[in-house]
Amino acid sequence: MALRGRMVTDSLGKVRRLGKRLERGGEGEIFALQDRQDVIVKWYYPEVLKKRGDELHRKVEAMRELRDAQMTRDVCWPLIRVFDDQHRWIGFAMYRAQGVKMGFLAHALLYQRYFPGLDRSRVVGYLIRFIEIVQQLHRAGVCIGDYNLNNVFCMPSTQQVTLIDCDSYQLRVGGTFYPCPVGSPDMTPKEHQGVAFRNIVRTSQSEAFSLAIVLFKCLMLGRHPYDIVGGDDPVRNLRRGNFAYGEGGRDVPEGAWYDLWRELPEGIRDMFVTTFTSGANVPRHRATLPQWHAALTEYRQQLESGECSRRLIGPGSSKKSQVLHAR
């Protein structure tokens, strides 16, 4: 069991005392540093280090080679090697992300508690910033692979976005390929379903599909694009390209969801429809990151000029849609 007050050393042999344990993840634990509030340490579990410590160490070293000043501000990138008291590599130090998980923003019942006064303009602002960070990673040859709203932090008071848990990212450094060995089927495009995550080569088109799910979930306050009334689970619907929204909106879940959808500009709705229907099968049909960025930037202008409503429709606010979309 990890205890407070454990000591680690950096690559120069400087001893640091760990503070509070902040998280217990699937592969390791995150600790605060006692004398640096802005720095945290990821300490892999002994069994993980035993099984694939060398592989992790090589990948983290490759990531450290890639870092640049901009990236380390927007992404909690591995910065400093960390060793235990036996001088064995056990993880890395990185800057600590500020803010609230995007999962709380993309939730009809929780967003007001975590993001007081949230409106569409702010949601769109976070999403634009998120796309910019992903584009920045793509330019460095890095793919996120495992898209998860809990790995994106948003500052409620500003438009700042920071990505965490980046040691799983896919990258290519000096001719060596490092896969993203994790993921979730609910966020993975059809062409990669059923394949072990570590054997997948993520592409700009697969990234665009997963990113579109993140955008949809935020703009739709938590709804997954493949939640369908009377249908199968989201993964089966995803494999079939069964997207309920679009013309007629048949099989859209009851409630305010269709109203939320209808509030989006037509151009953005079209991009979702194409990405989640024909784009489910044909990767080149998917909207690209620059297209999303342009569309959302235009939408933000429309929101700020008053051309589009900034108000987020809350749950239970639409009786009308319940009648319209009852089967």
Greatest C-alpha distance within the chain? 68
- Strand pairing category for 161-163 and 171-173: unpaired
Query: What's the min distance (Å) between Cβ of 66 and another protein?
Result: 25
139 to 168: interface string for another protein, x by CB under 8 A: --------xxxx------------------
- Per CB under 8 A, the segment of 72-80, 135-143, 222-230, 283-291 that binds another protein is 222-230
Query: What's the min distance (Å) between Cβ of 133 and another protein?
Result: 19
Count of residues touching another protein (by CB under 8 A): 41
- Under 8 Å between Cβ of 297 and 124: no
10 binds another protein (CB under 8 A): no
CA end-to-end span of the chain: 53
By CB under 8 A, name the one of 186, 191, 259, 270 that touches another protein.
186
By CB under 8 A, name the one of 10, 227, 259, 298 that touches another protein.
227
221 binds another protein (CB under 8 A): yes
| Alpha carbons 274 and 84: distance in angstroms, whole number | 51
Return the structure tokens found at 188. Answer: 């993975």
Contacts (Cβ under 8 Å, ≥6 apart) of 237: 226, 227, 228, 231, 243
Return the structure tokens found at 97. Answer: 């992300």
103 binds another protein (CB under 8 A): yes
291 to 320: interface string for another protein, x by CB under 8 A: ------------------------xx----
By CB under 8 A, name the one of 60, 144, 256, 313 that touches another protein.
256
Chain center to CA of 36: 26
